[in-house]
Amino acid sequence: MLQDLYREIILDHYAHPRNRGKLEGADIAVEGVNPSCGDEISLYARVRDGRLEEVRFEGRGCSISQASASMMTEAVKGKSLDAAHELAEEFKAMMHGQVPDEGRLGDLVALQGVRRFPVRIKCATLAWVALQQGLREYAAGRPARVVASSEDEL
């Protein structure tokens, strides 16, 4: 069953997170917080030639927030800043009910089942909100350390 496959993808990213750890010399460093449940994400990225050359995260919280952060780092690594921002918009739109383009979102569609639990949507979007805030701060030439909240997305 497809739902079981999606659950396995999420649990695998939670148990074996990709790109976990601090990134020294990051051009983007963002702290993401979900005040409604206490999830925390620190997102780091190195930008080279207009692309996210390296993306890493640290954090604590529920399996959804941590798996989503892991999946996000894989999905945006190597993308242009604009493409990463657009992917974040598509992901957030999927989480709020739009039908996803599975070709563009790939394994990220595994998280669409979270929509059945509206209070958990902020868990899934936390890393993405932090990414977009970090991209905005980077584009504006502001310092690398900012704080984003999942409350900001609404």
CATH at 89: 3.90.1010.10
Query: Residue 51 domain-assigned?
Result: yes
- The pTM of this model reads 0.89
Q: For the segment 33-57, what is each residue's pLDDT rounded down to a tens digit?
A: 988 889 999 999 999 999 999 999 9
Query: Under a CB-based contact definition with an 8 Å cutoff, are residues 35 and 123 in contact?
Result: no
Number of domains in the chain: 1
Task: Work out the pLDDT band at 154, boundaries 50, 70, 90.
Answer: very low
Query: Residue 154 domain-assigned?
Result: no
Whether the per-residue pLDDT at 5 is higher than 80: the answer is no
Which residue type does 39 have? Answer: D
Pairing of strands 39-48, 145-149: unpaired
Q: For the segment 114-139, what is each residue's pLDDT rounded down to a tens digit?
A: 998 898 999 999 999 999 999 999 99
- Domain residues for 41? 2-148
> Can you give the pLDDT at residue 8?
87
Query: Residue 153 domain-assigned?
Result: no
Q: For the segment 48-94, what is each residue's pLDDT rounded down to a tens digit?
A: 999 999 999 999 999 999 999 999 999 999 999 999 999 999 999 99
